[in-house]
Every structure is written in C-alpha cells, then in structure tokens.
Amino acid sequence: MAAARAGAGHVFFVDAAHFVMGSFLACVWCVARIMIRGGCGRQRYNVLGAWNAVTNELVRVTNTTVVNSLTIAELLHQIAALGLIGPITVVLDNARYQHCVFIQELATTLNIQLLFLPGYSPNLNLIERLWKFTKNKVLYGRHYRNFDAFQKAIDGCLDHITTDHRPALKLLMTHNFQTFAKASLLAA
C-alpha cells in the first residue's frame, strides 16, 4: 500500500457482490398497513469489482449467471488494459475459482501479482465497504417493479462513484486496517 500511495505501483481489492432482487425490509410508520408486492423468484445480479485503493476507481464485470474463473479472467484483462505503469497487485479472498491454475497463469502472463487474504477475513478487503455502501444506497427500503429497474439502480450507483458519491466514499474507503505487531505468545 505504501508503494502504491507513493506512485510506485497499484493495488486493487477484488471481490464479487451478488445482489438478489427481493424485498429489503425497512421500518415505516403509517396509519394504515400498506402491502407492496415483492419480486418473485431469485433473480441475481453479480458484480465482480476491482477497487483501486489509491485512485478510488472501480473496474467491474457484471452478469446474471455466475462468477467463476472466466469472470475473474475478464476482470484481470480489464485491469491489464488500463495501461498502468508499475507493478499491479490484486488482493483477493480465498474463493476456489480464484486459486485455480488458469487464473494464476493468466495473472503471471499479464504481469499481475495475486495476493490472497487469510480465510474468513472480509474486513481486510476494502471493496466490501463499497458493497455495503451500494446496498444502503440502492436496496434497503426500496422496491423495484422489475429486474431491469433493479439492475439500472445498481449500475447507476456504481457509475456515480467518482462524482456524486465521492465525498461519502472518501470517508468510507480509507486505508485504516488494524495491524498487529509481531509478538510472542506465552501460555499461562
């Protein structure tokens, strides 16, 4: 991170968000009970994103099927196509499709270093904060009549990251990570 802040490299935090169309509860006080028809089925909008930790820009791949090694490969190609100068590090969680030989060889070919986070540590992945922000802005307490409107709302929020949402995200997407100094543990 220090090298990236100094302009000697680039760090991208990568993760997928699976937005499921449905009812997201919110508390509303009213005199009469109002029923809102919810979405039926389980339509899902997948967003695989790479958050540049220094420039605060998002590279993303979206689909309505699944996120797999081919989706990761498409994202890595998009990152490589940015033409960035210096080493590129991509920080990933431990999803199985990200550890496969195909992805590791592709990353080597594209001159991208893969850095895997420890298991069960989503708090270390900066992009998780963006997904929470998006859900708060777009999903909670809102109803969409159809899946197309649902997708457009999510894309609209993500499209305005560098403009309308920049002040809020500047406070949210900080590089504050809890670190631990090396210490010896003694059993009592």
Q: What is the CATH number of the domain that holds 57?
A: 3.30.420.10
**What is the spatial distance between Cα 18 and Cα 9, in angstroms, rounded to a whole number?**
29
- Amino acid 134: pLDDT: 96
Sign of the four-CA dihedral 171, 159, 22, 69: negative
Q: What is the pLDDT of residue 78?
A: 98
- Number of domains forming the structure of the chain: 1
With a cut of 70, list the residues of the chain below it in pLDDT.
23-30, 34-41, 177-188
Under 8 Å between Cβ of 116 and 94:
yes
State the residue range of the domain holding 115.
2-26+39-172
**Does residue 185 fall inside a structural domain?**
no
Does residue 181 belong to any structural domain of this protein? Answer: no
Tell me, yes or no, whether 82 lies in a domain: yes
Strands in 53-143 per DSSP E: 58-63, 88-92, 112-116
- The whole-number pLDDT of residue 177 equals 67
